[in-house]
């Protein structure tokens, strides 16, 4: 009988198809990106030197940049800092009742995921994470069906800036201009699956096997804490959402001293459980090992980044201004034309 083997629904998601990696391939990709990014920065600085026509300052600028280049590890750390700020913004929007209550978790997780996916194909030299993070967040509110108007979206930012500096710096154009760049880097794949839904499913399914309902509920609430932690790690590229959810559940159960193993042994075959346990152990280890970087460290890296930004993409650089002016003078050429 020639019966065609059908795939399960999760195997047909874009997340499963295009966004799974091994720890090694992740590191490899980041290192390669970093290397190419650095080349682009140096190339851009040299071009800017020509615009400047030979004042000696450019030499020192190139030297400064080469001394302050970021390593792949520093890139990841800087991105990680801005991922933390997503949490802060979520709280602010939540307070202002701009996000739907049931969508909050998903918006937060999707925004974090978008940033992570974006920087698998881009580097911080070209696109600094501060604005990318905002664009991803703005995009995530739309993707998760909890749209926040752009004016509402930037209001908390501008009020904070006015309080601090006396004038608003963030403009809505900064966010909107990058939107297409971001979607393009995400390969137009906007559906992201998070561990929140599976965790809820497990909570319901466990009720039939675990008698202490109030404790189970406590464990479930604690699970959210660990899922939040897992969002900052690379777990989403390594394992399935249901596996991450169960890993978080095990951690939470350990905290609350509830044994959920009877549930697993009763529900699943021992042969399958063996592989599952190794996966779960790995997930728990990664979640616990994650440490967010401190504000001081982030500031330090950010200061270095100012010196080694790619002038081609930096709206404040002379090269960018010259290119923009050239473009305006030149007769219309389609953007998609190869030069």
Partner 1 sequence: MSILASAEKQNLTPYTTKEDSCPQCQRMRYFNERMVLLVGPCYHKMCELCFENTFASGPAACPECQRVLRRNEYYQPIFEDLTVEREVRVRARMAAAYNKRQEDFKSLKDYNDYLEMVEDLTMKLLYEEDTSQTDSIIEKYKRENNAQIERNMSKRQREEMIQRKVLEQEKSKKLQLRDEYLRQLEDERREKIEAKNNIINALATSDKSAKEILKARTVQLKKSSLSNRNAGRKVQLELEALLKSAAEGFYDDDDDDIDVEEIDDGPFDPAESPYEPVIVRLREQYDDPTPAFRQGSLAAGVTREMHQRYLIEGAMAGLFEPPFSGSAKSSNNEGTQDS
Smallest distance from the beta carbon of 122 to partner 1, in angstroms?
Answer: 21
What's the min distance (Å) between Cβ of 13 and partner 1? Answer: 9
Distance CA 291, CA 285 (A): 12
Query: CB 279: neighbour CB atoms within 10 A?
Result: 16
CB of 198 to partner 1, least distance (A): 4
Binding site for partner 1 (CB under 8 A): 1-12, 16-17, 20-22, 25, 101-102, 197-202, 204-205, 207-209, 213, 217, 220, 238-243, 245-246, 266, 272, 275-276, 279, 282
Specify the residue, 129 or 195, whose C-beta has the smaller distance to partner 1. Answer: 195
Alpha-carbon separation of residue 28 from 23, 33, 63 (angstroms) = 9, 9, 27
- State the nearest-atom distance from the C-beta of 39 to partner 1, in Å: 26
Q: Which is nearer to partner 1, 58 or 90 (CB)?
A: 90
SS (H, E, C) 27-87: HHHHHHHHHHHHHHHHHHHHHHHHHCCCCCHHHHHHHHHHHCCCCHHHHHHHHHHHHHHHH
Residue 337 buriedness (CB in 10 A; 0-12 / 13-18 / 19+): exposed
5 phi, psi to nearest 5 deg: -80, 125
Say how many C-beta atoms besides its own lie within 10 A of residue 40's C-beta.
16
Q: Which is nearer to partner 1, 202 or 226 (CB)?
A: 202
Minimal distance in Å, beta carbon 272 to partner 1?
5
Q: Considering beta carbons, is residue 129 or 198 the nearer one to partner 1?
A: 198
For partner 1, the closer CB: 53 or 274: 274
168 vs 161: CA distance, rounded Å: 6
Closer residue to partner 1 (CB): 14 or 84: 14
Burial label for 322, CB within 10 Å (0-12, 13-18, 19+), is middle
Considering the complex, what minimum distance in angstroms separates the CB of residue 101 from partner 1?
A: 8
DSSP 222-267: HHHHHHHHHHHSSHHHHS-HHHHHHHHHHHHHHHTT---HHHHHHH
Between 180 and 277, CB nearer to partner 1:
277
Q: How far is the CB of 251 from partner 1 (least distance, A)?
A: 16
């Amino acid at each position: 009988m020639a019966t065609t083997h059908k795939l399960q629904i999760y195997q047909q998601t874009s997340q499963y198809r295009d966004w799974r990696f091994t720890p090694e391939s992740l590191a490899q990709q980041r290192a390669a990106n970093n290397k190419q990014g650095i080349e682009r920065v140096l190339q851009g600085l040299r071009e800017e030197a020509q615009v400047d026509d030979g004042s000696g300052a450019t030499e020192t600028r190139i030297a400064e940049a080469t001394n302050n280049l970021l390593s792949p590890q520093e890139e990841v750390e800087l991105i990680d800092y801005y991922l933390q700020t997503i949490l802060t913004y979520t709280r602010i929007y939540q307070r202002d009742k701009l996000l739907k209550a049931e969508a909050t978790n998903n918006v937060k997780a999707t925004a974090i995921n978008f940033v992570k996916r974006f920087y698998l194909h881009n580097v911080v030299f070209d696109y600094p994470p501060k604005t990318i993070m905002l664009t991803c967040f703005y995009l995530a509110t739309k993707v998760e069906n909890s749209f926040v108007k752009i004016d509402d979206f930037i209001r908390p930012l501008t009020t904070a800036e006015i309080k601090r500096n006396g004038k608003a710096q963030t403009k809505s154009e900064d966010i909107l201009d990058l939107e297409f760049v971001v979607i393009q880097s995400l390969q137009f794949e906007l559906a992201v699956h998070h561990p929140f839904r599976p965790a809820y499913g497990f909570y319901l399914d466990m009720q039939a096997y675990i008698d202490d309902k109030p404790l189970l509920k406590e464990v479930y609430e604690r699970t959210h804490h660990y899922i939040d932690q897992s969002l900052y790690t690379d777990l989403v590229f390594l394992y399935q959402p249901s596996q991450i959810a169960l890993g978080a559940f095990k951690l939470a159960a350990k905290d609350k001293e509830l044994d959920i193993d009877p549930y697993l042994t009763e529900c699943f075959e021992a042969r399958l459980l063996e592989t599952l346990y190794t996966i779960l152990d790995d997930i728990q280890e990664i979640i616990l090992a994650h440490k967010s970087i401190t504000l001081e460290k982030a500031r330090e890296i950010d200061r270095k980044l100012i010196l080694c930004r790619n002038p081609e993409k930096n709206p404040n650089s002379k090269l960018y201004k010259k290119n923009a002016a050239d473009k305006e003078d030149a007769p219309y050429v389609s953007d998609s034309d190869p030069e």
